[in-house]
Chain A
Amino acid sequence: MENILTSADLQAVWLTLRLASITTILLLLIATPLAWWLSHSRKWYKGPVSALVALPLVLPPTVLGFYLLLLMGPHGPVGELTKAMHLGALPFTFAGLVIGSVLFSLPFAVQPIQNAFESIGRRPLEVAATLRAGAWDRFYSVALPLARPGFYTAIILAFAHTVGEFGVVLMLGGNIPGETRVLSVAIYSHVEAVEYGAAHLLAGGMVLFSFIVLLSLYLAGGKLAKDVR
C-alpha cells in the first residue's frame, strides 16, 4: 500500500477532510440565519434571494468556478479588494477553495434547515413568547432543538457534497499539492497518468468512507429525532 499510495495522496485525503469540515462549519453559520430569514420573511425580495441561493443546484460547477475565478482573480473586484488588504489573490489557494465550496454547497445547507424551521410553524414560538421568552431565547430553546433533524441533514449534505466536489475546484484551485489538490482531483490525476491502482484505492476508500459517514449520521440522526419526539 505504501508504494501505491504516496504521501501526496494522503495529503490530498487530509486536505479534502479539512476543506469539507471548514466548509460545513462555515455553512452552518451562514445558512442558519439565512434559513431563518427565508422561513419567516414576508418581504418581496424573499423570492429572488431564494432563487439566488438555489442557483448552484442547477448551474454546472464549472460555470460557478469560472465566475468565481474572474471575481477573485487579480483583476476582479474581490481580487482588487484582497490585494488591497495584502491578502493576495484567492484563486489557487485553500481559502479560495473554501469560498467556492461554501457557495457551491449553500443550497444543500440552507434548504433542509429552512424546511425544518418552516415545519415548526409559528405556534411553538408564540407559545414561548407567552411564556416570557424573548426572541433569542425562543430561537435557542424552541426553534433550534425542534429543527435538529434539519441540521443533521444539512451537515450530511454539505459535508458530502464538498467531499465530492470537482468542477469548482478544478476551475478555481487547480492541482497544487497540499494547497488545492483534493481527493477528486488526485483521483483524476492518477487516472490521467494511468495509475489505476492508486486511483482504485482512493476512489474505493472514498466510497467506503462516504458510506460510513452517511450511515453513522443517519443512525445518529434517527435516534436523536426520536429523542426530540
Chain B
Amino acid sequence: MSEIRAHFALQLDGFELDASFIAPAVGVTALFGPSGSGKTTLLRCIAGLERATGMLSMNGEVWQDDTIFVPTHKRPLGFVFQEASLFPHLSVRVNLEYGYKRIPPASRRVQLDQVVEWLGLSRLIERGDPAKLSGGERQRVAIGRALLTSPRILLMDEPLSALDTTSKQEILPYLERLHRELEIPVLYVSHALDEVARLADHLVLLQQGRVIASGALGETLARLDLPTAHFDDAGVVIEAAVAQQDETYHLTRLDFAGGSLWVGKVKQPLGSRVRARVLARDVSIALRQSHGTSITNILAARIVEIRDEGSDKVMVRMTVGESYVLMSRITRRSRDLLGLTVGMEVFAQVKSVALMS
C-alpha cells in the first residue's frame, strides 16, 4: 500500500493533461519533462490546487476520486513553490511557524529546532524580515516552513529553477541531506537532468501532458527508447560504495555491482554510499583491453542494444558485471569501423565520472 497512485485529466486552454502514474511512497520521485509537459500542473493536481477529474491515493488513503475531493488545506502535504513565496508581512520565524501552528499539537512530529538545524536557519531567523534574505536563503526557509507541517509527502515544484548557480549549489546539499535523513516521500518536479540524477530514486517522465515512462531512476535513465537518452548529458547513475583510498595518487576506488571505478579522492569514509554519474559522451568503446591508454577506468562489457541517434551518432547500451548498464555515445562511423553488434564483448573506457554526493 505504500505507494502513490494518481490519475488526472484536465483541459486547460490549449493544453491537455492526461497523466497516470504509480510511484513508491518512499524516497524521491522526480516528475521530469520539458517545459509545457504538464509536470507542474500534475503536481498542482496532487496538491489539490488545480481541480482535475481523476483519482489520487496516498498510501491507500483517497485524496480524490469521483466523489471525494479533499481540499488542499486538509491534505497532509508540504509544498515548495518555484519562488519561495514567503509571506512578506510576517517575519522569518512567523513564516516558519505558520503551518506548524495550524496542525494539531499531537501530530507535530517535526520541531522548529530540528528544521533550524537541518537547514541552517538560525542566522536567518535573527534577520527577521524575509526581504533581507537572498533567493537561496528564502527557499531554505520555505522548505523549512513546509516541513514544519509534518507532511506525509513533500511536493517540490522546481525549487531550484528560480535560483542562480551559486544559490543552487548552496541549497543542493540541504536537499541531499533531506533525501538521506527524512523519512517522508518527495515528489520533485524538474526539467534539469543533473538535478534529477542527483536527487531522485524514481523517475516519472512526462511529455505533452502524458506519462511516457515511470520506473527506478537507474533503469529509466538507461533506456534508449526514451527522450532522456538524447539529452546532451544523457548517462547512467551508479550507486557505489567507497572501497579504497589511494593516498599516493589522491584517488578513491568506488565499488558497484558492475565493477570498480577510480575517481578523484572523496571525503566520505570507507563504506559510505555515494552516487556517481557516467555520461554517455564520456564512455568510449574498445575491442581489446588496450594498455597504452591514459584512461584508468576500463570495464569489460557486453553490448545489448544499439540505436541510431541523429544522422551521425549511435547510442550503445552495454551491461557490465551481472546486469549493470552503461551507455556510450559514439559516431556511426566508429560503430561500423569496429563492427559493433548486439551481443559483442567489448571494453568500455570511462573517461570521467561525476560524483553526485
A132 and B149 contacting across the interface, CB-CB below 8 Å: yes
B102 and A130 contacting across the interface, CB-CB below 8 Å: no
B71: which A residues are within 8 A, CB to CB? Answer: 129, 134
Question: What residue in chain A is nearest B48 (Cβ atoms)?
Answer: A129
Interface residues in A116-151 (C-beta closer than 8 Å to B): 123-124, 126-134, 137-138, 141-142, 145-146
A146 and B73 contacting across the interface, CB-CB below 8 Å: no
Determine whether B110 belongs to the interface, using a CB cutoff of 8 Å to chain A.
Answer: no
A123 and B89 contacting across the interface, CB-CB below 8 Å: no
A131 and B81 contacting across the interface, CB-CB below 8 Å: no
A131 and B99 contacting across the interface, CB-CB below 8 Å: yes
Determine whether A229 belongs to the interface, using a CB cutoff of 8 Å to chain B.
Answer: yes
Interface residues in A207-229 (C-beta closer than 8 Å to B): 227-229
**Contact flags (1/0) for B74-91 with A, using CB distance below 8 Å?**
100111010101011100
B129: which A residues are within 8 A, CB to CB? Answer: 229
A141: which B residues are within 8 A, CB to CB? Answer: 98
A145 and B89 contacting across the interface, CB-CB below 8 Å: yes
B48: which A residues are within 8 A, CB to CB? Answer: 129
Q: Give the contacting residue for B78; candidates A128, A130, A137; CB below 8 A.
A: A130
Q: How far is the CA of A141 from the CA of B83 in the complex (A)?
A: 20
B102 and A132 contacting across the interface, CB-CB below 8 Å: yes
A130 and B87 contacting across the interface, CB-CB below 8 Å: no
User: Interface residues of A toward B: which range?
Assistant: 20 to 34
Determine whether B145 belongs to the interface, using a CB cutoff of 8 Å to chain A.
Answer: yes
Question: What residue in chain A is nearest B80 (Cβ atoms)?
Answer: A130
A137 and B102 contacting across the interface, CB-CB below 8 Å: yes
B88: which A residues are within 8 A, CB to CB? Answer: 146, 228-229
B102 and A146 contacting across the interface, CB-CB below 8 Å: no
Determine whether B49 belongs to the interface, using a CB cutoff of 8 Å to chain A.
Answer: yes
Determine whether B344 belongs to the interface, using a CB cutoff of 8 Å to chain A.
Answer: no
Question: What residue in chain A is nearest B131 (Cβ atoms)?
Answer: A229
B102: which A residues are within 8 A, CB to CB? Answer: 131-133, 137
Q: How far is the CA of A127 from the CA of B145 in the complex (A)?
A: 10
Given A137-B102, A229-B131, A129:B85 Cβ within 8 A: no
Q: Give the contacting residue for A132; candidates B81, B85, B87, B99; CB below 8 A.
A: B99
Determine whether B103 belongs to the interface, using a CB cutoff of 8 Å to chain A.
Answer: yes
CB A42 to nearest CB in B, in angstroms, measures: 13
Interface residues in A134-171 (C-beta closer than 8 Å to B): 134, 137-138, 141-142, 145-146
Q: How far is the CA of A128 from the CA of B89 in the complex (A)?
A: 13
Q: How far is the CA of A123 from the CA of B82 in the complex (A)?
A: 11
CB B240 to nearest CB in A, in angstroms, measures: 37
Count chain B residues whose beta carbon lies closer than 8 angstroms to a beta carbon of A.
25
B79 and A127 contacting across the interface, CB-CB below 8 Å: yes
B103 and A132 contacting across the interface, CB-CB below 8 Å: yes
Q: Give the contacting residue for A130; candidates B103, B131, B146; CB below 8 A.
A: B146
Question: What residue in chain A is nearest B145 (Cβ atoms)?
Answer: A131
A124: which B residues are within 8 A, CB to CB? Answer: 85, 87
B78: which A residues are within 8 A, CB to CB? Answer: 130
B72: which A residues are within 8 A, CB to CB? Answer: 126, 129-130
CB A41 to nearest CB in B, in angstroms, measures: 16
B98: which A residues are within 8 A, CB to CB? Answer: 128, 131, 133, 141
Determine whether B47 belongs to the interface, using a CB cutoff of 8 Å to chain A.
Answer: yes
Q: How far is the CA of A127 from the CA of B49 in the complex (A)?
A: 10
A129 and B73 contacting across the interface, CB-CB below 8 Å: yes
CB A110 to nearest CB in B, in angstroms, measures: 23
Q: Give the contacting residue for B81; candidates A127, A134, A138, A227; CB below 8 A.
A: A127
B99 and A146 contacting across the interface, CB-CB below 8 Å: no
Question: What residue in chain A is nearest B142 (Cβ atoms)?
Answer: A127
B89 and A132 contacting across the interface, CB-CB below 8 Å: no
Question: What residue in chain A is nearest B155 (Cβ atoms)?
Answer: A130
Q: How far is the CA of A132 from the CA of B85 in the complex (A)?
A: 16
B81: which A residues are within 8 A, CB to CB? Answer: 123, 126-127
* A129, A227, A228 — most chain B CB neighbours (10 Å): A129
Question: What residue in chain B is nearest A134 (Cβ atoms)?
Answer: B73
* A123, A131, A137, A138 — most chain B CB neighbours (10 Å): A131
B77: which A residues are within 8 A, CB to CB? Answer: 130
A132: which B residues are within 8 A, CB to CB? Answer: 73-74, 99, 102-103, 149
A129 and B49 contacting across the interface, CB-CB below 8 Å: yes
CB B41 to nearest CB in A, in angstroms, measures: 13
Interface residues in B310-334 (C-beta closer than 8 Å to A): none
Q: How far is the CA of A45 from the CA of B146 in the complex (A)?
A: 38
A228: which B residues are within 8 A, CB to CB? Answer: 88-89
Q: How far is the CA of A146 from the CA of B89 in the complex (A)?
A: 7
B73 and A142 contacting across the interface, CB-CB below 8 Å: no
Q: What are 7 contact pairs spanning A and B, CB under 8 A? A: A126-B49, A130-B146, A131-B99, A132-B149, A133-B98, A133-B102, A142-B87
Sorted from nearest, which 8 A-B pairs have the closest CB atoms?
A: A131-B99, A130-B79, A132-B102, A129-B72, A145-B89, A129-B73, A127-B85, A228-B89
Given A127-B79, A137-B73, A137-B102, 7 additional A-B pairs, CB 8 A: A128-B87, A130-B72, A130-B73, A130-B77, A132-B73, A133-B98, A229-B89
**Which A residues form the contact surface with B (CB < 8 A)?**
123-124, 126-134, 137-138, 141-142, 145-146, 227-229
